[in-house]
Amino acid sequence: MLKPTKMTKVVIAGTRDQIEPTISTFHKLNVLHITDFSKETEDFKIGRPLKTASKFSEHLLSLRAISNQLGLKESESGKLTKVELSSDIDEKITKLQKEVSSRFDELRNIESRLKEKEDLLSSVKPFFGLPLSLESYTGYETLKVYTGYIDTDLESRLIKIHSNFELFVGEHEKRKIFALFIPKEFEGEVQKLLQEERTYVELKVPPLKGNPPVIVDELTKEITGLRERFSLIKTELDNLKEEYSEFIIATDEHLSIETQKSEAPLKFATSANAFIIDGWVPSDKFDKIEAELQKNTDGKVYLTRIEEEIDEKEIPIELENPVAAKPFELLIDTFATPRYGEIDPSLFLFITYPLFYALMLGDVGYGLIVTAIGLVIKQKFKTGGLNALALILLISGVFSTIFGVIYGEFFGFPIFNIEFKGHLEEGILGIFGPTIAGIHLPVHRFESVKPLLLLCFAIGIFHVLLGYIIGFRNEVVKHDLKHAIYAKGSWMMILIGGVLLIAKVMPALMSKSRMPTGDMIFLAGAGLMLIGVILLIKGEGFISILELPTLLSNVLSYSRILAIGLSSAGIALAVNTMAMNLFIRPEGVLLGGGIVLALAGVVILFIGHLINLLLGILGPGIHSLRLQYVEFFTKFYEGGGTKYLPFGHKRKYTEE
């Protein structure tokens, strides 16, 4: 907790005949972070995959192709129990591949033919409106044939070009359609006439023979038959998917594991008779790993600690946090993996991220919905980043519900009776709020702007100061105490001194009274600030003074907690006031404007609160994260570590 798991660098060496049991042992233990071997020498080369690698890879590719063709997703296997795979996996995959591929290919073929027939049908239908067979439009040496849509009278204009033509006119889907037969010598003039006509749209004659109604009937029957066949094959594929889903997902896991094990030697150094693996293991598991390795290799493979000084940048990082704080590692990984000697801030985020989120959202109704969303996502995604995100949402939602009670808000409606600007506003519960720890609930956000703003600044000062304290510790570990005082201690003095000064100066300025220059707190604050600035200049140079306004902006940035909260509460209040006073309860009479007007008010309430909820999820989430990354992390966090990736696999669907 607070620091990454302690790691030990190890070297594993043994004879080549022990590669496979060594790989199996470490894969089962799932603790060895392998360092890739890359610098080949005359004696040691990069290892080659095991003989089984190509077979497993081939089967895995085939299985994933089958899974893709069936549209199978891993999430559909959420209720699977662990499956014991039989020895005839190869035969099952080959048989399943033939069954699925043949149907899938036929499905694609039918889709292609359907598209072709439907296109033909669409091209034939317009010619319903003309009394000619399709072959009548083609095959002439001396005639040019034009077909298309047009809205104007063509005949009168064609007579001016030439009187020897034949024009057929009809209608399709309330549009005028024509077919014109005219000697080819007048092609240019007719073409010019049609181009000048804005309503003219050319129609291509489909390459078919026969009367359009007969052709349409035949095409319709073919399309119906193809669709029935398509539906039948789709049902067969769905049945195969249902029958083999457990086998496919379990076998995919099995083959992925075997492929991973078979390709592991690509990270090893090998010679004609031996192999060497460089890697890292958690220090507290070294003895157990050594005992297991000796047992499985008959003592022919050796595990050795490397005691020499090691660059901390090489050490893989495994974060070690309580279960409740574990999801917040997602936010750490999104920013940067900590270095080996750094403090892991996941536990701090577990406290401050939901706190800031809840201070901003602070509504029972919205909080319960956010909690429910977190629960739904958590149920759907059992592992991975989305599961961690769901847990963060869940915790933030619970905190928001608690602060909703403190603020006395339920979708912007007051929960408790409150007196605001001399008026009694009756709450949902119809009672006055209780007094807890000397605080009378509810804390009305619009009435308590000043104390809430002071609270936000106090939180900001503490949060920034905590960042400097952690940074001070990191500098001591990384360098020495002197360097830590110059780099972080100076800023701590400036921050504390500045707070003491402001605590005395601001009241004097607001009351226009004399400055308390003789006050001990004022003098202590000024002294601390002066010492801090001197230490900062000595450690970082005179130019570092330019960074002093940044410290003030960092603290002021925490005012966004109140600003976002007030904007959310303000939107909710506006939506409620408009819907209730204008639609649902005009002039204080429930349904005074009629049921239709009241229903319109309900719609406004729903849409307004839905938009506010979406803003309430995104706004507090983003701004809370910003306060962590920009105002907090920059005081101590560098990151840049290598993530711990142990060689192994956590089985979900198969047994070892």
Report the candidate in 407, 393, 386 with the shortest Cα–Cα distance to residue 617. 393
State the average pLDDT over residues 551-565. 93
Cis peptide bond upstream of 451, omega within 30: no
Angle between helices 449-478 and 346-361 (to 10 degrees): 170
pLDDT value for 336:
87
DSSP, res 84: -
Residues forming a β-bridge with 424: 419
Cis peptide bond upstream of 442, omega within 30: yes
Helix (H, G, I), strand (E, B) or coil at 9: strand
Show me where the domains of the chain are located. 123-217, 343-478+541-635, 481-540
Token pair, residue 585, equals: 């309860």
pLDDT at residue 558 above 80?
yes
Interval 118-172: pLDDT, tens: 999 999 999 988 989 999 998 898 999 999 999 888 888 888 888 888 999 998 8
Task: Provide the CB-side half-sphere exposure for 39 (13 A, CA).
Answer: 2
Contacts for 172 with CB less than 8 Å, ≥ 6 apart:
125, 126, 127, 128, 129, 149
pLDDT value for 1:
61
pLDDT value for 59:
86
Which architecture, in CATH terms, is 123-217?
2-Layer Sandwich (3.30)
Interval 175-221: pLDDT, tens: 899 999 999 988 888 888 888 888 899 999 998 899 998 999 999 99
- Candidate from 128-142, 263-277, 290-304, 427-441 with smallest mean pLDDT: 427-441
Between 385 and 352, residue with greater pLDDT: 352
Report the candidate in 215, 617, 546, 150 with the shortest Cα–Cα distance to residue 389. 617
pLDDT at residue 504 above 90?
no
pLDDT, the chain, mean: 88
Residue 247 and residue 229: Cα distance in Å, rounded? 27
Between 300 and 516, residue with greater pLDDT: 300
Residue 336 and residue 643: Cα distance in Å, rounded? 10
DSSP 452-471: HHHHHHHHHHHHHHHHHHHH
pLDDT value for 79:
47
pLDDT value for 656:
64
pLDDT at residue 77 above 50?
no
Distances (CA, A) of 284 to 161, 181, 287: 100, 93, 8
**Residue 515: alpha-carbon gap to chain centroid:** 53
Name the one residue in this structure whose structure tokens are 């998917």: 241
pLDDT value for 113:
93
Between 649 and 83, residue with greater pLDDT: 649
User: pTM for this structure?
Assistant: 0.76
Torsion, Cα 165 170 175 180, to 10 degrees, reads: -20
State the average pLDDT over residues 483-511. 86
Name the one residue in this structure whose structure tokens are 């330019």: 546
The Cβ of residue 498 has, within 10 Å, a number of other Cβ atoms equal to 20
pLDDT-based confidence at 564, cuts 50/70/90? very high
What does the H/E/C string look like for 394-456?
HHHHHHHHHHHHHHCEECCEECCEEEECCEEECCCCCCECCEECCEECCCCCCCCHHHHHHHH
pLDDT-based confidence at 420, cuts 50/70/90? low
- Candidate from 87-91, 250-254, 426-430, 464-468 with smallest mean pLDDT: 87-91
**Residue 239: alpha-carbon gap to chain centroid:** 32
pLDDT at residue 33 above 90?
yes
Contacts for 519 with CB less than 8 Å, ≥ 6 apart:
504
Between 117 and 653, residue with greater pLDDT: 117
Amino acid at 288: K
